[in-house]
Structure 1
Amino acid sequence: MSTTSQTIQEWKQVYELEVFSYCLMTNHVHLVVQANDNPTAIPQLMRRLARRQTRFVNSLEKRSGSLREGRYKISPIDTDAYLLACCRYVELNPVKAGMVDKPELYEWSSYCARVGVSHCQWLDEPDTFRALAGSHQMKIEAYRKFVEQEDASSSDELICTAINSNKLTGGNKLVDEIENRIGIRVETRKRGRPASKK
């Protein structure tokens, strides 16, 4: 897994990406990144991650073949409303998978660095984290409480659905903004004319 971490650190600079959250699981990776205007930056990063991790694991286990099945999934985020929720979703993956009881017990995610348990020199700090409180220690405490809150199931469900369908993580305002910017409908809509009411 350290190979994957090194790849992220190395290529985030090449592709001018900011990495706000990550979680390296045994057979997949979760990332929350801010991309630049280069539309190929994220696809290229994901290809490099897949290749390097495959070589590392195949060498370690004396095997061949691919580790991950299918293409990666991506969901643009309404940063103001959902960025921290997406970071929480990513960092709680090991807890939800039953690998650890608390996110700080999993060393292969950004949570430990975010709350000061460890250090990650290349992890970026989103504006929404900076806005949580005045001092850095107060931000850490606010983020801890945010991650530990128990009423996050609705936002987690929205995020999971958005990721699995490669749709936007956000509300109607973000959908309208993106559609106006690119001139294409990006929201899932039912086909055909709406049913008439009788």
Structure 2
Amino acid sequence: MARHPRLALPGYPHHVIQRGNNRQPIVLDEADRKMLYSLWLEESQRHKVAVNAYVLLDNHFHMLLTPPSDEAMSLMMQSVGRSYVRYFNNRHSRSGTLWEGRYKSSVIDSEAYLLTCMAYIDLNPVRAGVAESAEDFNWSSYKHLIGQKIDKLVTPHAHYWGLGNTPFSREAAYAEFVAGGLSASIEKDLTESVLKSRVVGRPEFLKSLQKTTQRPILPKKAGRPFKKPL
């Protein structure tokens, strides 16, 4: 069966996840992390894809990407994937696939869910049990967004800039937002949406997107389809 093309819309943020095959590690040490990070930086700049947030764990990563064109995000991810697998296999004397299939992505309604998705990404190490707080983890966008370091990879989204009129006020507001945590239902919805490539947004947002693409976006009605009687 032919695979459906991913829904990729220029100018909209996309929540992206890619896992290691069979949940196996995709990074084994700091050298691997630095290599993958450098490829993200190089290819995001090459294809002009804004990285609004990211987190890199041992066996998977999340990113929030805003592409300038339909194909930019796919080109970036494909190039990073190929280059990193060659590096990883050569360095660790292995062969075969590294990724669990293609990366998965979902379009995000920035008006309603942008900051929530950013917090979801930055809190991933806490949910995974590898850090007590987002601030304790080094391989994510969080420290840049709260002003603790400069991260060349991160391009804050316009809705992040809307958190305050000064860098300090924006950083403090985002730190407070993340400290408030996310409900279990929101976490589940964001997880399932990216794994199933569903759009995350308000009903009016889904309706407006449906007008721009032939791909089904609106949720299907429950039950069997209606058939006219013979």
Question: In the alignment, what sits opposite 1:67?
Answer: 98
Amino acid at match of 1:9: L
List per-residue Cα deviations over 1:141-191 (Å, max 9, x = no partner): 110111111453332222112111101011211110111111442233146
Where 1:22 maps in the other structure, the secondary structure is strand
* Aligned partners of 1:21 and 1:109 also within 8 Å: yes
Unmatched segments (≥5 aa) in structure 1: none
Counterpart Cα distance in 2 of 1:169 and 1:119: 29
Residue 86 of structure 1 deviates from its aligned partner by 0.8
Q: Which moved more, 1:150-159 or 1:168-177?
A: 150-159
Question: In the alignment, what sits opposite 2:198?
Answer: 167
Question: In the alignment, what sits opposite 1:104?
Answer: 135
Taking structure 1 as reference, are residues 105 and 59 closer, same or farther at Cα in structure 2, changes over 3 Å only?
A: farther
Where 1:33 maps in the other structure, the secondary structure is strand
* Aligned partners of 2:126 and 2:134 also within 8 Å: yes
Question: 1:131 pairs with 158, 162, 167, which one?
Answer: 162
Counterpart Cα distance in 1 of 2:207 and 2:143: 36
Determine if the alignment matches structure 1 residue 30 to structure 2 residue 62. yes
Where 2:54 maps in the other structure, the secondary structure is strand
Residue 100 of structure 1 deviates from its aligned partner by 1.1
Equivalences, count: 193
- In the superposition, the TM-score normalised over structure 1's length comes to 0.90
Question: 2:216 pairs with 178, 182, 185, which one?
Answer: 185
List per-residue Cα deviations over 1:38-86 (Å, max 9, x = no partner): x221112111222232233223322122221111111001011111111
* Aligned partners of 2:113 and 2:200 also within 8 Å: yes
Amino acid at match of 1:32: L
Structure with bigger helix share is 1
Stretches of 4+ aligned residues off by more than 4 angstroms: none
Amino acid at match of 1:83: L
- In the superposition, the TM-score normalised over structure 2's length comes to 0.78
Determine if the alignment matches structure 1 residue 78 to structure 2 residue 109. yes
Counterpart Cα distance in 2 of 1:13 and 1:43: 14
* Aligned partners of 2:120 and 2:182 also within 8 Å: no
Determine if the alignment matches structure 1 residue 149 to structure 2 residue 189. no
Counterpart Cα distance in 2 of 1:55 and 1:185: 36
Question: 1:21 pairs with 53, 71, 85, which one?
Answer: 53
* Aligned partners of 2:43 and 2:80 also within 8 Å: no
Taking structure 1 as reference, are residues 123 and 150 closer, same or farther at Cα in structure 2, changes over 3 Å only?
A: closer
Counterpart Cα distance in 1 of 2:223 and 2:215: 15
Amino acid at match of 1:49: V
* Aligned partners of 1:77 and 1:83 also within 8 Å: yes
Determine if the alignment matches structure 1 residue 10 to structure 2 residue 42. yes
CA RMSD in angstroms, aligned pairs only: 1.7
* Aligned partners of 1:24 and 1:108 also within 8 Å: yes
Where 1:74 maps in the other structure, the secondary structure is strand
% identical aligned pairs: 26
Unmatched segments (≥5 aa) in structure 2: 1-32
Determine if the alignment matches structure 1 residue 40 to structure 2 residue 71. yes
